Amino acid sequence: MAEAHTTSYYAATANQYAPFPRLAGEIDADVVVIGGGFTGVNSALELADRGFRVVLLEANRIGWGATGRNGGQITGSLSGDKAMAREFRRSLGAEAEDFVWNLRWRGHEIIRKRVSRFGIDCDLKPGHIQTACAPAHLPELRDMHLEAVRRGMGDEVEFVEQDRIGEIVASPIYLGGLLNRRNMHVHSLNLCLGEAQAAAGLGVRLFEDSRVLRIEEVPRPVVITAQGRVTADKVLLAGNAYHRLGKGQMRGALFPAALGIVATEPLSEDVARQINPQDLAVYDNRFVLDYHRLTADRRLIFGGGTNYSGRPSRDIAAELRPSIERTFPQLRGIGIEFGWSGLAGIIVNRIPHLGRVGPNIFYAEGYSGHGIATTHIVAEIMAEAISGTMREFDVFAGVRHMRLPLGTWAGQQAIALGMFYYRLKERFR
């Protein structure tokens, strides 16, 4: 039985749509995509745009997973940017750094165009600042600023010194920041719902409440749900941290991390203007970071911390309230109306995990908490690969990923230990 969207701010303010049907009976397709989050929906859309007959199967509702639960920040960080530049040098040589730089902004362009082409109503707004919480964070942000200027983004970025940061974000904990007007924020669930409608308009057959139970591989793959079967030439696994269909080299590479996030009661216009007058998305520069932004109805959406058990916390609001009040003492006692959590797929080196298991079964997963822009890029890369243009797919698929042959539970404990080390190291920077 399908689960409804989690009780989040996003679900409470989602654009209404007629639910897609449950798969029943046997159908045939060129490609079957499993998972109705950003990866699956956008891959389906890209494939339909290229003329493929596509079926998308979602176990619950469109955007039910991390896609409908996240912080809504669209940033030029792909999480593992530095690791990518290092790894990609093996396949791309000296071109690797430029490739990664261009990749970092490609998702923004795809999202902007998609929203405008299909008229998607999703509160998409420009503006983001990455803040320093410790003096040691400043040099890294200055370097990022210099690189953006050197690469021609000078009119879109600004380094904000400590004496001005309070005018941009009225918090006592920030010592400066890198303001970026190309980055954006969005009502993530409404973006995905709009993209799903667009995909349907392009001929994709979408099914909700249609969990894939297993895949049979010969002679053409057959994807099996409780009441139906889809036979297709190609399969794309896009269930990210929520599916159990992975096999072979997929095993031991992705670890689900439960991230908690809240939305406050709506702030008055005065308070909203005082704490964040430019309506920016904000995240800080720590390894395990806090992030926040205002919604269209002036709630503060605030997320941070993480636990690597893969299980949600018992009381997310109580856990995040101290961080909210430390960031904005003027919000002490603010009502928290929504608290929810979602699973992000963490990869040890933070490079998205793309590949195939068998000749006809592709997978794309693992955006390490930075997936909104990245999923849109990856969807394009997967659609190209399934159409036969393998170059960018091969760059990702050629990455050497660390796999912890420990099973998910033990692997997660190892990751948690690693994160504890980084947090400790950060405390002494």
Ligand X SMILES: Cc1cc2nc3c(=O)[nH]c(=O)nc-3n(C[C@H](O)[C@H](O)[C@H](O)COP(=O)(O)OP(=O)(O)OC[C@H]3O[C@@H](n4cnc5c(N)ncnc54)[C@H](O)[C@@H]3O)c2cc1C
Nearer to ligand X, 92 or 259 (CB): 259
Amino acid at 236: L
Each residue 196-215 as x (binds ligand X by CB under 6 A) or -, in order, gives ---------------xx---
The contacts of residue 388 (CB under 8 Å, 6+ apart) are none
Shortest CB 341 distance to ligand X, Å: 6
Nearer to ligand X, 73 or 171 (CB): 73
- Using the contact rule CB under 6 A, the part of the chain among 156-164, 317-325, 338-346, 388-396 near ligand X is 338-346
Task: List, in sequence order, the alpha helices (H) in 169-261.
Answer: 188-201
Nearer to ligand X, 171 or 306 (CB): 306
Nearer to ligand X, 149 or 419 (CB): 419
Nearer to ligand X, 96 or 372 (CB): 372
By three-state DSSP, how is residue 181 classified?
Answer: strand
Q: Number of residues in contact with ligand X, rule: CB under 6 A?
A: 43
Site for ligand X (CB under 6 A): which residue of 33, 122, 238, 334? 238
Shortest CB 346 distance to ligand X, Å: 10
Spatial distance between the Cα atoms of 34 and 371, rounded to a whole number of angstroms: 17
* Size of the chain in residues: 429
DSSP letters spanning 337-356: EEEEEEEEEEETT---EEEE
Each residue 17-46 as x (binds ligand X by CB under 6 A) or -, in order, gives -----------------xxxxxxx------
Q: Which residue has the tokens 């964040």?
A: 276
Name the residue number minimizing CB distance to ligand X. Answer: 371
Each residue 54-93 as x (binds ligand X by CB under 6 A) or -, in order, gives ---xxxx---xxxx-xxxxx--------------------
Shortest CB 320 distance to ligand X, Å: 11
Nearer to ligand X, 92 or 369 (CB): 369
Nearer to ligand X, 9 or 64 (CB): 64
Is residue 219 reached through a cis peptide bond, with omega within 30 degrees of 0 on the bond before it? Answer: yes
Neighbouring C-beta atoms of residue 268, cutoff 10 Å: 9
Let me know: does 148 contact 157? Beta carbons within 8 Å: yes
Candidates 253, 211, 168, 186; CA nearest to 36 is 211
Q: What's the alpha-carbon Rg for the chain, to the nearest Å?
A: 21
Per-position b or e across 203-221, b if 16+ CB within 10 A of its CB: ebbbbbbbbbeebeeeeeb
Let me know: does 188 contact 371? Beta carbons within 8 Å: no
Q: In Å, how far from its chain's centre is CA 128?
A: 16
Per-position b or e across 349-363, b if 16+ CB within 10 A of its CB: bbbbbbbbbeebbbb
DSSP letters spanning 109-144: HHHHHHHHHHT--S--EEEEEEE-SSGGGHHHHHHH
Shortest CB 259 distance to ligand X, Å: 4
Query: Does 177 contact ligand X by CB under 6 A?
Result: no
Nearer to ligand X, 111 or 148 (CB): 111
Under rule CB under 6 A, which residues in 250-269 are in contact with ligand X?
A: 259, 261
Shortest CB 186 distance to ligand X, Å: 9
Under rule CB under 6 A, which residues in 291-320 are in contact with ligand X?
A: 291, 303
Nearer to ligand X, 92 or 144 (CB): 144
- Using the contact rule CB under 6 A, the part of the chain among 53-61, 96-104, 115-123, 312-320 near ligand X is 53-61
Per-position b or e across 404-415, b if 16+ CB within 10 A of its CB: beeeeeebbeeb
- Using the contact rule CB under 6 A, the part of the chain among 113-121, 167-175, 362-370, 399-407 near ligand X is 362-370
Nearer to ligand X, 66 or 141 (CB): 66
- Using the contact rule CB under 6 A, the part of the chain among 17-25, 152-160, 240-248, 321-329 near ligand X is 240-248
Nearer to ligand X, 65 or 355 (CB): 65
The two three-digit tokens of residue 143, written as one number: 């370097």
Q: Which residue has the tokens 């159908």?
A: 27
Let me know: does 23 contact 230? Beta carbons within 8 Å: yes
- Using the contact rule CB under 6 A, the part of the chain among 130-138, 152-160, 308-316, 337-345 near ligand X is 337-345
Shortest CB 303 distance to ligand X, Å: 5
Site for ligand X (CB under 6 A): which residue of 342, 352, 355, 411? 342
Report in angstroms the alpha-carbon separations of 230 from 15, 45, 72, 208, 330: 29, 18, 33, 14, 55
List residues near ligand X by CB under 6 A.
34-40, 57-60, 64-67, 69-73, 211-212, 238-243, 245, 259, 261, 291, 303, 342-344, 367, 369-373, 375
